[in-house]
Amino acid sequence: MLGRCFAFSILFLVFGPAVADDVAESSLRLTLPPTMNAVVGQEMGLYFDNIVLTQSPDELQFDVTCDIGTLSHNCWTVTPSADQVGLHEFTVSVSDSHGVQQGQGALTLQVVPADARAGESVTLLIVGDSLTHATVYPNELARLLGGQGNPDWSMLGSHRPDSATAGVAHEGYGGWTWQRFANHYEPDPDGTYKKRSSPFVFLGENGQPQLDVDRFFDEACDGERPDTVFFLLGINDCFGANPDDPIAMDVRIDAVLMHADTVLAAFHEAAPEAELAICLTPPPNTRESAFEANYRGAYHRWGWKRIQHRLVERMLEHFANREDEKQFLVPTELFIDPENGYPENNAVHPNEVGYHQLATSMYAWLKSR
């Protein structure tokens, strides 16, 4: 049993600040968010390959110090019981094959009751790319919320694919980015998601396209405003960055974060009471063969892993301590199995297991609010 639990933990890296000049491939750059959320009766966990920058996670030894949960060779998992509700200190350390420690970090694990937020009502909007477009994790989030002990829920959005279950809607489109949601206007839409304007961009009185989230809510949502908006973006924004040029990579991420700030500010103005939940970009499939199947040598797993890891580092820094602005980070990069959570032939799109893990992380965060 550990000592006194604490409400918040600051991420620390043995290797120093994660800045472009320090992006060395030999550094593991252990990266953790400040909190991880869990719900009584629901499995939650952390996969070690997702928190370090290495091509050989199997050659490392990971140790977790926490008063609950189970450690295995590639992850730590827990299915909390009712007597484990509360805050738990969680520390992970990583050592090389000789037992020499290479890094250590800490976060706070928050376990909430199975009936957390029961009797409340929540209205959700999900904004995303092809991971959202697939509609698997929105369906699973709806299923989880439909169980006993949960708030009444509804989802806003104009996109209801054929695979959407009852009540499920979103604004998720394959290939979309923060920038596309911020400013894309299509003067001649063809009715498909590939040739359409951003749902949040309209012609203004001056005849020029403008970001108008108020109008989206008024016209597409019958004037209703959400309590929570989830944003799961970042893959398309950064996939084409050059992983061998860390300075150029950071310049690319600078632009991504600028567009994200533009979208978030517009949402905050249109729905000032809504909590804006920014999901940390999930890790890639652990198989290089999946990248070969999709990209025929044009893109590689290690390249995207370096970009994705840097993007998460930057998001953790950029969006830290923004709760007063109703902005929150959701640690969706932790609990997704980079092997069993992906099909053998897809580099960045999870299978049902991985999508359900994404939904569980979002559900746990939502229940903890």
8 A C-beta contact, residue 290 and residue 301: yes
In a structure prediction context, what are the per-residue pLDDT tens digits for the chain, which is 369 residues long? 333 333 323 333 333 333 333 333 348 999 999 999 999 999 999 999 999 999 999 999 999 999 999 999 999 999 999 999 999 999 999 999 999 999 999 999 999 999 999 999 999 999 999 999 999 999 999 999 999 999 999 999 999 999 999 999 999 999 999 999 999 999 999 988 889 999 999 999 999 999 999 999 999 999 999 999 999 999 999 999 999 999 999 999 999 999 999 999 999 999 999 999 999 999 999 999 999 999 999 999 999 999 999 999 999 999 999 999 999 999 999 999 999 999 999 999 999 999 999 999 999 999 999
Between CA 273 and CA 216 the distance in angstroms is 17
Tell me which fold the domain 121-368 belongs to: Rossmann fold (3.40.50)
pTM: 0.93
pLDDT at 289: 98
pLDDT at 232: 98
pLDDT at 2: 34
Q: Residue 8 carries which side chain, given as an amino acid letter?
A: F
Sequence ranges of the domains in the chain: 20-112, 121-368
Structure tokens, 67: 């008063």
Between CA 6 and CA 51 the distance in angstroms is 22
- Characterize 25-60 residue by residue with b for buried, 16 or more Cβ atoms within 10 angstroms of its Cβ, and e for exposed: eebbbbbbbbbbbbbbebebbbbbbbbbbbeebeeb
Paired residues of 278 in beta bridges: 231, 329
8 A C-beta contact, residue 249 and residue 20: yes
pLDDT at 9: 32
Which of 263, 173, 161 lies closest to 212 in space, CA to CA? 263
CATH 2.60.40.10, applies to 20-112: yes
pLDDT at 194: 86
pLDDT at 208: 96
Q: Residue 13 carries which side chain, given as an amino acid letter?
A: L
| Cα separation values, 105 from 11, 15, 114, 219, 297, Å | 6, 11, 28, 46, 35
